[in-house]
Amino acid sequence: MSREQQVHQRLLDIAQVMQDSGLWQSSAPDTAAFNSTEPFCLDTMLPLEWLQWVLLPRMQALLDASAPLPKNFSVTPYYEEALEASVAGRLLLLSQLKALDDLFTDSAD
């Protein structure tokens, strides 16, 4: 399986965990929320909103366009801090995020 296929599968897995855990939102945040200049849109979105509405679609768009993927990419540390222990599916979501991160940090590209 190519790296791109592996990234695509991880994105699907993350979305599935969010859906299965009841974390998936049916409607996007207000358009203005996407205009943030802060990392992870900290000032305009909740962590799970950014994950669903920014990271997943942007990564998929890179794959669809056969664009270069980021290097040394890692979001798990942020989510380890940002997600409260009581968040449904937290450990499984962190596991899937780590699997995604590993595709970028372990890469020899």
Q: Side chain identity at 76, as an amino acid letter?
A: T
Q: Side chain identity at 34, as an amino acid letter?
A: F
User: What global pTM score does this model have?
Assistant: 0.91
pLDDT of residue 65: 97
Q: Side chain identity at 61, as an amino acid letter?
A: A
Q: Which CATH architecture has domain 3-26+38-105?
A: Up-down Bundle (1.20)
CA distance 92 to 96: 6
pLDDT of residue 105: 83
Phi and psi torsions of 69, nearest 5°: -85, 155
Could you tell me if 57 and 51 are in contact, meaning their C-beta atoms sit under 8 angstroms apart? no
Euclidean distance between the first and final Cα of the chain, in Å?
A: 16
pLDDT of residue 106: 56
pLDDT of residue 109: 46
**Which tokens in the block code for residue 75?**
């979001």
- In 3D space, the residue among 5, 2, 49, 51 whose CA is nearest the CA of residue 27 turns out to be 49
The pLDDT tens digits along the chain (109 residues) read 899 999 999 999 999 999 999 999 999 999 999 999 998 999 999 999 999 999 999 999 999 999 999 888 899 999 999 999 999 999 999 999 999 999 998 544 4
